[in-house]
């Protein structure tokens, strides 16, 4: 991977982080669940979830690039990355809820306000697909910037 491709990947990741934070902050803006007096602030919860989503997106991007390189199909990277992000993000409300409460509730990783009441179902139908669409756009930018290499990992 060339220095230019590394810059493109870093830029795409940075833009994804900013878009993700802005979207998630807006998604729960004014939520009484995210503005608890004794709990973490909405901004803190949004930052935590944004970091987790960005890390997942980067891992999905690496998996997509690896699949494209192994199969020698450059166009496979955006498809694999987007599907991994969509599956991962859509599943969050289902695996984070354990035995009647949120797994990380009351810990430093508490992001439960994003999945309480109707927010969980809205996450599945609107937020996860929107974040997957952002992944697809970023992957297409990376694919375009990678030029003649196989998915930008060479």
List of the chain residues with pLDDT < 50: 148-152, 154
Q: Residue 111: its pLDDT value, please?
A: 84
What's the confidence (pLDDT) of residue 101? Answer: 73
* Nearest Cα residue to 130 out of 20, 47, 21: 20
Q: What CA–CA distance (Å, rounded) separates 120 from 94?
A: 9
**Cβ atoms < 10 Å from Cβ of 119:** 18
Which pLDDT does position 150 carry in this prediction? Answer: 47
Q: Where are the alpha helices (DSSP H) in 1-154?
A: 3-27, 42-71, 76-96, 119-122, 128-146
Give the pLDDT confidence score for residue 107 in this predicted structure. 78
Q: What confidence score (pLDDT) does residue 37 get?
A: 72
Residue 102: the pLDDT is: 77
CA distance linking residue 8 with residue 24, whole number of Å? 24
Q: What is the largest CA-CA distance in the chain?
A: 54
């Amino acid at each position: 991977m060339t220095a230019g491709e590394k810059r493109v990947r870093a830029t795409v990741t940075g833009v994804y982080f900013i878009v993700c934070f802005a979207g998630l902050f807006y998604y729960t803006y004014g939520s009484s669940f995210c503005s608890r007096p004794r709990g973490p602030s909405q901004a803190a919860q949004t930052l935590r979830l944004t970091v987790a989503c960005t890390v997942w997106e980067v891992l999905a991007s690496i998996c997509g690039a690896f699949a494209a390189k192994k199969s020698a199909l450059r166009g496979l990277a955006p498809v694999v990355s987007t599907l991994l992000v969509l599956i991962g993000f859509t599943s969050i409300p289902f695996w984070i809820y354990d035995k009647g409460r949120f797994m990380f509730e009351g810990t430093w990783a508490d992001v439960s306000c994003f999945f309480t009441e109707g927010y969980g179902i809205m996450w599945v139908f609107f937020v996860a697909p929107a974040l997957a669409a952002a992944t697809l756009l970023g992957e297409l930018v990376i694919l375009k910037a990678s030029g003649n290499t196989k998915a930008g990992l060479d």
